[in-house]
Amino acid sequence: MGRAHRHTDPEAQTMTLTLGGGPLASRPPETVNYTIDGPAHRLLWQRFPRRVRALLGSSTLLDSTDAALLHESNLLPQLYVPLADLREEMLEESAHTTHCPFKGDARYWSVRAGDRLVENAVWSYPEPLEGAEWLKGRAAVYWSAVDAWFDEDEEVHGHVRDPYHRIDVRPTSRHVVVRAGGTDIAESRRAYLLSETGLPNRFYLPRQDVRTELLRPSATHTHCPYKGQASYRSLHTAGSVIEDAAWCYEQPFDEAVRIAGHLCFLADGIETVVDGTTLS
């Protein structure tokens, strides 16, 4: 996964089963020897294997060991839990309704915790359409409607992690050079290459191989559900500033722990050259 902008890394949303040419997207890849019969908009229902919780303030709205993920074409996976796993006393019925041509008519509830009211935070399909029957008796919560989500006892940010999204980090001796305006700002043969589902490879360089005197801390911080919290650096060269030219995960999640403290560069005006070939 490459450049994250503010708050949540948008590249975390570019491809899994349902996005970016995945097999359940509306336009699946052409490089297959099979076809998928059925509607262009596809639904896949799978059990989520761990306990999940959602908190509004100090109040637990949702606590479930029977959650499921709905994978839906062109959307991120959505978590659904049995209605019984929501705290009924926190729910206030809403007059709001919506219609989905693939799932049916949804009803909504607002959520109250003390003096706080979050309107239309929870929805359910009381009579789901044929082909989506497994939604009956279950409800979903907007991710941003609550203050914290937990996967078992680990807090997660941005969205629930997709089990089909993968990260691999490998050491590489390939010759990596980073330039800006014709000036070399980094050179390494001991970078880490990070491969992430459906995304371009990214090269993370050790600080010792970067001209860190040209970098200044940025106020930008982003969160990737798969790698963790990133902090950014702006590049200051003679008469030029490139904002948020590089980012770093100081304490990445286990899947990406090897890139801890390493720098990755991507911004307008930045050129990364690997073994003599400029990356697009």
Residues present in the chain in total: 280
What is the pLDDT, as a whole number, of residue 242?
A: 96
168 near 194, Cβ under 8 Å? yes
What's the mean pLDDT in 262-274?
96
Question: How far is residue 239 from each of residues 132, 181, 242, measured CA to CA in Å?
Answer: 59, 11, 10
Find the range with the poorest average confidence among 15-19, 68-72, 168-172, 226-230. 15-19
* Domains annotated on the chain, with CATH: 17-156 (2.170.150.40), 167-278 (2.170.150.40)
* Single-letter code of the amino acid located at 82: P
Q: What is the pLDDT of residues 92-145, one digit of tens each?
A: 999 999 999 999 999 999 999 999 999 999 999 999 999 999 999 999 999 999
- 181-202 residue pLDDT tens: 889 999 999 999 999 987 899 9
Instruction: Compute the mean pLDDT over every residue in the chain, rounded to the nearest whole number.
Output: 91
Q: Write the secondary structure of 223-246 as one string of H (helix), E (strand) and C (coil).
A: EECCCEEEEEEEEEECCEEEEEEE
| Consecutive H or E run containing 38 | none
Residue 112: its pLDDT value, please? Answer: 97
In this prediction, residue 74 carries a pLDDT of 87
Q: Which of 79, 56, 59 is nearest to 69 (CA)?
A: 79
131: tokens are 């082909």
